[in-house]
Amino acid sequence: MSKQILVLPGDGIGPEIMAEAVKVLNLANDKYALGFELSFDDLGGAAIDRYGVPLADETLARARAADAILLGAVGGPKWDAIDPAIRPERGLLKIRSQLGLFGNLRPALLYPQLAEASSLKPEIVAGLDILIVRELTGGIYFGQPRESKVLENGERMAYDTLPYSESEIRRIAKVGFDMARVRGKKLCSVDKANVLASSQLWRAVVEEVAKDYPDVELSHMYVDNAAMQLVRAPKQFDVMVTDNMFGDILSDEASMLTGSIGMLPSASLDASNKGMYEPCHGSAPDIAGKGIANPLATILSVSMMLRYSFGQVAAADAIEKAVSLVLDQGLRTGDIWSEGKTKVGTAAMGDAVVEAL
């Protein structure tokens, strides 16, 4: 039975890095007889240019029908002046929300070969391996009402709403506990329960879910403290679970601790582990088209897809091993390059992974 993969290269460096990931995916497809059929479409700025909207209905329909989605990155200055309602990011938010991809897994892993690239001291980050589980379809990103208006006194004002329901919290908490169970058995739930009503409910529900996971050690931390602890002693964390906005901030902070944001993949899963996979980094318009972007995060997103959506552990492991081998060989794109290593471009890096695989 064939599996449908929808590939959305997106904007900026998206098409370049995706070309390499597709090379790797095609090879894995053949080698492990995965039965994948790939189709391609546009999202974000590319979709605005082609369809007039950042996510066309037909693209959404294709995404619904697919078994998994592989995404490059969206956005760029070209579409900055556009009506906020149809900006590239809206396409990303809409596909997350429409497909119910509430469980966002963002690993922050330090590659030993790249240890010196971190801005933190080696002893603070050596062996760092955190998984941030971010709620992705609720909270202030989608809360209604939200409005921008003019008050009677002539002043403008705008507001957003941050809502969470018990079931939204429960299902993401479960993802957090499930992940902790197969990793270091430690879950840290991050909120701002000393200030926010939504965080108080968050904490209460996480406590309830914890009863089903007596083998996982649960802690709670305020988001300001978490932002601090990630800098002070990041290795204290195993899995962190948090809401959409806090997860956006903390996962970017955590990924930068590793010094190798060009290496980090992510998964966004629905209730049945159907998922969208994408690199943690953005569309990097400043280096787009130059053939120098790092394709490894996108290639590792392929590996995550094989692991989480298709249970193809052997193929997923093989891709990760191939990436590690290429790093051992000293190959580096500009973003992770250091003295004594061999600087290569996007395509050469992709080819090297294909070769290693």
153 backbone dihedrals φ, ψ, rounded to 5°: -80, 5
Q: Residue 103 burial by CB count (10 A; 0-12/13-18/19+): exposed, middle or buried?
A: buried
Q: Is 248 a catalytic residue?
A: yes
Q: Applying CB under 8 A, which of residues 61, 65, 126, 157 lies at the interface with a second copy?
A: 157
Per partner kind, with CB cut-offs from 5 to 8 A, the member of ligand IPM, a second copy, none near residue 60 is none
We find the least distance from the C-beta atom of residue 302 to ligand IPM, in angstroms, to be 18
* Known catalytic residue at 252: yes
Question: Least separation, in Å, of the C-beta of 333 and ligand IPM?
Answer: 21
Question: Residues 216, 320, 64, 41: what is their CA dihedral angle, to the nearest 10 degrees?
Answer: 150
Question: What DSSP state is assigned to residue 289?
Answer: T
Residue nearest to ligand IPM (CB): 89
The binder of ligand IPM chosen from 11, 135, 238, 248 (CB under 6 A): 248
- Which partner, a second copy, ligand IPM, none, binds residue 163 by CB below 5 to 8 Å per kind? a second copy
5 annotated binding-site participant:
no
Compose the 123-152 pattern: x for residues touching a second copy by CB under 8 A, - for all others: -x---------------xx-x--xxx--x-
204 contacts ligand IPM (rule: CB under 6 A) = no
Per-position x/- string for 178-197, each x denoting binding to a second copy as judged by CB under 8 A, each - no binding: --------------x-xxxx
CA 135 vs CA 39, 142, 176, 309: distances in Å: 28, 12, 10, 18
84 binds, among a second copy, ligand IPM, none (CB under 5 to 8 A by kind): a second copy
Residue 250: name its binding partner from ligand IPM, a second copy, none (Cβ under 5 to 8 Å by kind): a second copy
Show contacts with ligand IPM in window 74-93 (CB under 6 A).
Answer: 89, 92-93
Residue 171: how many CB atoms within 10 A of its CB?
A: 17
Which of 60, 196 has the CB closer to a second copy? 196
Catalytic residue among 129, 160, 252, 270: 252
Q: Which two tokens stand for residue 37?
A: 């059929």
Distances (CA, A) of 148 to 138, 145, 151: 20, 10, 10
For residue 204, give every residue at least 6 positions away whose Cβ sits within 8 Å of its Cβ, in sequence order, or none.
none
The amino acid at residue 183 is: R
* 82 assigned to a ligand binding site: yes
Provide the residue type at 131 as one letter. L
Q: Is 351 a catalytic residue?
A: no
Quote the DSSP letter at residue 242. E
| Min separation Cβ 277 and ligand IPM, Å | 12
Amino acid at 257: L
Residue 10 is assigned to a ligand binding site: no
Residue showing tokens 């305020």: 222
Q: Is the dihedral of CA 298, 296, 256, 292 positive or negative?
A: negative
| Burial category of 157 from C-beta neighbours within 10 Å (exposed 0-12, middle 13-18, buried 19 and up) | exposed
The answer to whether 82 touches 22, Cβ cutoff 8 Å, is no
Which amino acid appears at position 317 of this protein?
D
- Which one-letter amino acid corresponds to residue 304? M
Query: Is there a catalytic annotation at residue 224?
Result: yes
77 is in an annotated binding site: yes
Q: Active site residue: 164, 191, 192, 277, which one?
A: 192
Interface positions with a second copy (CB under 8 A): 75, 84, 87, 89, 93, 119-121, 124, 140-141, 143, 146-148, 151, 155-167, 192, 194-198, 200-201, 205, 223-225, 227-233, 245-246, 248-253, 255-257, 261
Catalytic residues: 141, 192, 224, 248, 252
Interface positions with ligand IPM (CB under 6 A): 89, 92-93, 194-195, 224, 248
